[in-house]
Chain A
Amino acid sequence: MKELLDIQRFSLHDGEGIRTAVFLKGCPLHCPWCANPENLINAPFYYVDETRCIKSGKECILSSKCPGKAYIEAEKLYKNCQVGAVRSFGNYYSPEELMEIILKDRIYYENGGGVTFSGGEPLLHVDFLADICTMLKQDDISIGFETCLYNQNEGLDLIRRYADFCFIDVKILDRTLCRETIGGDVDIYLKNLDLLKDIKDRIVFRVPIVPGFTDDHDNLVLIKKLIQDFGPSRVEIFGVHNLAAKKYQILGRPFRRFDEPKRSDIIKIRDYLAEGNMDVVII
């Protein structure tokens, strides 16, 4: 069994210590501010990086088979480009192959670091994760998840069984707005969350501050109530950014540019959400 993955070594933002972040593909949501649009669909996407392409005139000097342009139909693609101009978002790995890569950096996990499964939505790949998590636990490597928690499946058991911590996104909590904006069912989300309440000491909420989407008063009131009702171990908030513009361009998807929230506004939100002695940090 192989899964399509992106792997990032030396990740500093995905949990305690130094981590290897593993991005799995496919997502039940379509957040307009998504910073990983390449992970929304669980299918290979190949493209030609024009900056690496070596041409004589208009022709690739290496192969007449090269289309010399973005090409999505993988089976027709000239993939064996010597200069790596034909690139893909991710490659297929078996749990054993992934484990080999993870173990290369084992020495760097000793200070609480390890592996974080992110996406896309990692919990869409329960069988693959069960295999790799079993191996990781055998090797005593810390496991983290980052999930939106909007899908119905046995993924919750994975978290309960294997996660040393789990980031759960908290986005839009109004039922209608959530469905219309990001395609999520808040009832499923809240039900899933309720099922994880007994392991709340391993749960970290992550709240993206997206002007016009997540930062309005009504939504913040709902988020604050959820934080107080659930009582996660910590809440992390962060401002949305526009760093994914190039990825949208490569994917041929329209990129929606957001105003990055002011630091002072993020601090105000942090202070508001922290009322009631909650541990809320800006990352």
Chain B
Amino acid sequence: MKKLFSLLINIYKKYGNLFQGKCFYAFILFYKHQREWGTGRALKYVLKEFPHIHVIKGRDKVSAIGKMLEKVRIRPGQSDSLFVYPVDECVTLKLKGKILGNCCVDYSKIIGNSLEDLKMNEGEVFSLSNDSLIGYIESFTERIIASVGSSELKNKDLIIRNLQDTKTKKADTLEGALQRILLINAIQWQTGHILVGLGRLDLVLDRFSDDKRTDEELKGILKDFLRNLHEYYCLKSNALMGDTGQIIILGGNTEDGGYFTNRFTGLFLDAVKELDLPDPKVLIRISSKTPDQLWEKITDLIMAENGSPLISNDDVVIPCMLEFGYSKEEAYGYTTSACWEPMPGEGCEQNNIVSINCLEAFDIISGSIKEKEPDSFEAFMDLYFDGLEKHVKEILDYIDGIEWEEDPVISLFNSSARSRHMDAACGGGRSNNYGLLTVAMGNAVNSIMNIKKLVYEDHIFSLQELDRIRRSNFKGRADVRELLSGMPKMYGTDDPAVVSMVNMITGRIRKMVSEYRNRFNGRVKIGLSSPHYIMNSTDYPASFDGRGKGDPFAVHISNDHASDHIGLISFAAGLDYGNAGFNGNVVDMLVSPALINDTMQREKFIYMLRQGFKQGMFQLQLNCISADELRKAKANPEDFPDLIVRVWGFNAYFVQLPEEYQDYLIERAERYERAS
């Protein structure tokens, strides 16, 4: 069953547009819900909903959206909520190309303007399309108002007033602003977007900082808002449960040399902590200017152990973005894709398209090694880079062939697209670069270190012999696999030789892509973290670090084989993220709960993180969990329904993860504890 799902999902990803239809979408809904409910309940649900499933197409994209919005069933949510969140997961759009994903719209546009204000009234194709879309959104809003009006919602008068105002006035209350975000957010999900981000919500809501109500009252409103966003968790979860892309970005350096934070920064941190839901999640932009008071709230959220926050270091990220060529406005206004790739302010760049597999080169050059043994380590490295270049070229060819789906919804909120009268998916954005990720860098570096030691220094094996054993997945040579696995794991340590090896590899990759320009004249950015460490490793051949065929790749920037946190941070701080190397570089740290369960130790640990950022660490995510607890949760999931962990770059309920992800997290925690 699992293999069938995997096959069908892969077919859908590649060729989904060829046979999208009611039955196929019903299967997608079934697949998504069975992850939470199991097959029986999911099947029953889909059969019940089948008559309401619609996959809409139209003569053009905007008219299809209009038709689709007419079909959406409006179902008021919680009776005491201040908001309505109109998503109908049975209705979707037929897509022709690849939809923009992993980005967020600038919600300040719908808060500081009415829908009427966003009309262009200019009479040419783009503005006609824009105005037509707004017309459909207005009609949709009318339908929601009517539905709320006939409901029993306790706050229906407030909701109706806020929706009415959306059409003709800018938002003048916090609830009004949040309702507009929910409306536009719902339309993004409804129009087939994936991994829909939430943007810099503290900044977006800044104009309401003077609200006279108490912090507790405002926090209650934010919690209500977040609970609404948590709805449709299954539908929103992409490859894995929890992989929704719903990231709230908070804080951040400002162009004038200051640091932005307001009342809502802390309130969102507190609200996410108290709700204890895996989603939406928080990314906090910190820097040397982050106030101590805000660090205290960040610390509290870390201690809540619900996976948030991911911490991003503006002192490193912004200079890299400026060096790359983004304007100050774009760099200082950055948000991120799901999960962490910096996105220029108001941008919709596709940062998370595909991963470069750093092990692929070994397989590409395997034939050459068989023909002729490289006579020195330098000769071997030259060969490795030849293989890597071939792999990178294949990836560039692939991304060149991607056809993007026209996107009037994203364009509506994109200043550049509006001023240039060009769809955001067709190069209308201010910047239109692509982002690539790398996977298995840790495996590749440890492999290279093993080859250097065992082949070229100690002469225990020839490379041909070692490669033959590796390709056979160590068949009959468990001892060699044990040897390779047992060699010191250098990736993630601050050994200068390792840091320079990684910088050499990433430098070569960046050089390989430096001349590339996409059809919008955009360039390519590279990052060292990828969510594909299990997905891409399935059936992938064994590697020289002792990893067996099909075993997961190393996770992001990590080293589970050592408990030396400072060594790992110093390693990450020593890496070169310049020259287009800033497309997400996350240290994935495992921390023993025993290490930070004492107040004084916790303070020291947080101080270590702060100093690590000062030293140059790019980004960080943490899992504070014991292997024992994870093992118990796997064995008795009914006892641990709320156990939240951090995987890839998002938070998830541990018990809802596929078994291979559970096992890998347990294995990593065990390795870390052995090393501690």
Contacts and interface: CB of A to CB of B under 8 A. Distances in A.
Interface of A: 9-10, 12, 17-18, 52, 54-56, 61-62, 82-85, 104-105, 107-108, 110-111
Interface residues on B, range: 20 to 34
B314 interface: no
A204 B162 CA distance: 64
A107 B611 contact: yes
B615 A107 contact: yes
A111 B607 contact: yes
Nearest to B453: A82
B486 A83 contact: yes
A162 to B, nearest CB: 23
A105 B454 CA distance: 31
Contacts of A84: 486-488
7 contacts: A9-B566, A10-B564, A55-B479, A61-B483, A82-B454, A84-B486, A108-B607
SS class, residues of chain A in contact with chain B: loop
Interface of B: 453-454, 458, 460, 479-480, 482-483, 486-488, 494, 564-567, 570, 595, 600-601, 604-605, 607-608, 611, 614-615
B492 to A, nearest CB: 14
A18 B608 contact: yes
Nearest to A81: B486
Contacts of B608: 10, 18, 108
Nearest to A13: B601
B460 A62 contact: yes
Which 4 residue pairs of A and B lie closest in terms of their CB atoms, listed nearest first?
A: A83-B486, A54-B483, A10-B566, A12-B601
B191 to A, nearest CB: 48
A12 to B, nearest CB: 5
A104 B482 CA distance: 32
A108 B566 contact: yes
Contacts, number: 60
A56 B607 contact: no
A52 B485 CA distance: 10
A18 B607 contact: yes
B486 A54 contact: yes
Q: Looking at A17, A52, A105, which has the most chain B CB atoms within 10 Å of its CB?
A: A105
A85 B601 CA distance: 32
A55 B595 CA distance: 35
Contact of A108 (B483, B595, B611): B611
Contact of A10 (B458, B565, B600): B565
A206 B340 CA distance: 46
Contact of B566 (A83, A105, A110): A105
A17 B611 contact: no
A18 B615 CA distance: 15
B570 A17 contact: no
> Which interface residue of B564, B567, B604, B605 has the most chain A CB atoms within 10 A?
B604
A52 B564 contact: no
A170 B249 CA distance: 52
A153 to B, nearest CB: 33
A176 B653 CA distance: 60
Given A82-B453, A107-B611, A108-B608, A62 B483 contact: yes
B604 A17 contact: yes
Nearest to A110: B611
Contacts of B611: 18, 107-108, 110-111
Contact of A61 (B479, B487, B601): B479
Given A82-B487, A83-B486, 20 more contacts: A9-B564, A9-B566, A9-B567, A10-B564, A10-B565, A10-B608, A12-B595, A12-B601, A12-B605, A18-B566, A18-B608, A52-B486, A61-B479, A82-B460, A82-B483, A83-B487, A84-B486, A84-B488, A104-B494, A107-B611
A84 B605 CA distance: 29
Q: Which of B564, B605, B607 has the most CB of A within 10 A?
A: B607
A105 B460 CA distance: 36
A104 B493 CA distance: 12
Contacts of B570: 104-105
A262 B40 CA distance: 52
A12 B602 CA distance: 10
Nearest to B458: A82
A52 B674 CA distance: 12
